[in-house]
Amino acid sequence: MRSDAAKKGVERAPHRSLLRAVGCDQKDIDQPFIGVINSFNEVVPGHIHLRTIAEAVKGGVRSAGGTPFEINTIGVCDGIAMGHPGMRYSLPSRELIADSVEVVSQAHAFDGLVFIPNCDKIVPGMLMAAVRLNIPSIFVSGGPMLAGRLWDGSPVDLNTVFTAVGRVVKGEMSEEELWEIERVACPGPGSCAGMFTANTMNCLTEALGMALGGNGTIPAVDARRVQLARRAGETIMGLLSRDICPLDIITGDSIYNAFAVDMALGGSTNSVLHLMAIASEAGIDFPLSLVNEISERTPHLARISPMGELRIEDLDRAGGIQAVMKEVEGLLNMGVKRVSGKSLGEELTTAQVRNREVIRPISNPHSPTGGLTILFGNLAPEGAVVKSAAVSPEMLSHRGPAHVFDSEEDATKAIMGGSIKEGEVIVIRYEGPRGGPGMREMLTPTSLISGMGMDDKVALITDGRFSGATKGAAIGHVSPEAASRGPIVALRDGDIVRIDIPNHRLDVELSEEEIEGRLSQLPDFEPRVKKGYLKRYAERVTSASTGAVFEK
């Protein structure tokens, strides 16, 4: 056992003495040490209940002959961090989480790990740590929040609140009506109820094979979630006995499967950023252009909020992620290993779709292609990402003048002030991984546009990123970013931008000579943050096209 390095032999008597101080007896010391990596905290609703999940995990570990040790990581609530400087810390927290798990797991020589994430950056940060450490590991999330309900029974969620703010600004809703939505939209613990980034990543963890069936969709308040956690604690001991490690499960084939499931679900654009980062950490070469090939092959089968009125709980009742994978099994690599100990093909033998209104048949999809599209062109030589399934049909191809802003705050002020005209392409730059720094999510401007009824009249492009709750012609991750002298920094008000999502293009009607001439006249980028973690982050982070990982 790896843990023998910290507990075996005469020379380890001091170590055993310390272990006894935390309550271990000789039986505990002799058993495998399992790190239970919990992201519990009291400020994130997706994490407030994770002590209950951890207790169930530890019970499963003990019943299967292991000794669990619970460790905590940090976690940021993107909703609370949204729209102010705190959002700069959200994506950078992913790297901190991965590093902290590495530190505590190596320092204490854990034999195996059970990860308990739930929200946006915590899930990919832990997945990155799992492949980096490559010791037996399994994931069990805290589960999705239930949808809130208005007095008439109609479902609402966090995105409803953001969008309602735009309606209040436009004068279509009173502040009293907004308050009614605000107080019921988030009715309890769990990751926000739509197919936003947190739930997308928990679903894709299941698709990757690193979690048991149900991980992505069983509601946080459902007793089945606690049962799932206990099974995860038991399962880690089987993975340990068979020496099945994350790199046996997370391969090029399973990354491909995850992207295919993502396309069928129409998940968050952030999933591209995170899956690319996980592939990079695992040493898997997965070019961004391959995402479009997967999208072209994979139909969009489920329209979950923000694209429709369905929530994750509806997807769970319809059969969950295993039912989605069953429907697209002809497009998946079925021989990949899973933490269940079965191949994907074996695991799906009992899966079935229970509601065709929620998960459409592959013969009758919402769209014949996937819910995400990668765009390339002279504005995005290294790529950009759009949730194409959430774009109005009339905006799939668009040509309009640029209205350029150098920060999210300036753009938000202009939107709320009514200075955005129909047909314009809003450009928000210097919000990339390096320029932001931290590549802020911009749910505030996109939800204002949607709430004001303009998401079928204007487009928005940025080197920053969007919440999974964003809808409309919102194109993010434009790479290279402005701070790295990407072409987006050459744009001026009035330049004509062409968006052609069906043909995967994002261009400005300028010659290469004009773009290069403008770039040559620009001063060197001056970092916005000059101290602390964000300064160090900006100095090391790479392009969004590679997952915004640290340079190696």
- Which sequence spans correspond to the domains of the chain? 31-145+190-350, 162-188, 373-546
Report the distance separating Cα 361 and Cα 516, nearest Å.
Answer: 48
Query: What pTM did the predictor assign?
Result: 0.95
Q: Please report where in the chains the tokens 């990751």 appear, as a residue.
A: 191
Nearest to 385 by CA among 287, 466, 484: 466
| Beta strands 505-508 and 496-500, pairing class | antiparallel
pLDDT, average across residues 410-418: 93
pLDDT confidence band for 313 (50 / 70 / 90):
very high
Q: State how far the Cα of 77 lies from the Cα of 43, in Å rounded to an integer.
A: 8
Question: For 330-343, what is the mean pLDDT?
Answer: 97
Q: Which residue has the higher pLDDT, 389 or 6?
A: 6
User: What pLDDT is stored for residue 471 in this prediction?
Assistant: 80
Residues of the chain with pLDDT > 70, as a percent, come to 100
Q: Collapse the DSSP code of 541 into the 3-class scheme (helix H, G, I; strand E, B; otherwise coil) and give the result.
A: strand
Contact at 8 Å (CB) between 226 and 60?
no
CB neighbour list of residue 8: distance below 8 Å, 6 or more residues apart: none
Cβ count near 23 (within 10 Å): 7
Asked whether the beta carbons of 205 and 127 are under 8 A apart, the reply is yes
pLDDT band at 531; cut points 50, 70, 90: very high
Assigned fold of 31-145+190-350: Rossmann fold (3.40.50)
CB 491 within 8 A of CB 402: yes
Contact 190, 198 (CB under 8 A): no
Structure-block tokens of residue 132: 């980096």
Q: What is the pLDDT of residue 442?
A: 86
Give the catalytic positions in this structure: 467
DSSP state for residue 545 in the 8-state scheme: G
Q: How far apart are CA 38 and CA 52, in angstroms?
A: 11
pLDDT band at 318 (very low <50, low <70, confident <90, very high): very high
In the CATH hierarchy, which top-level class contains the domain 373-546?
A: alpha beta
Q: Could you give the strand order of the β-sheet that contains 137-139, starting from the edge strand earlier in sequence? A: 67-72, 33-38, 112-116, 137-139
What is the reported pLDDT for 452?
Answer: 87
Contact 232, 60 (CB under 8 A): yes
Nearest to 140 by CA among 231, 240, 64: 231
Contacts of 153 (CB under 8 A, 6+ apart): none
Give per-residue pLDDT as tens, 4-25. Answer: 999 999 999 999 999 999 999 9
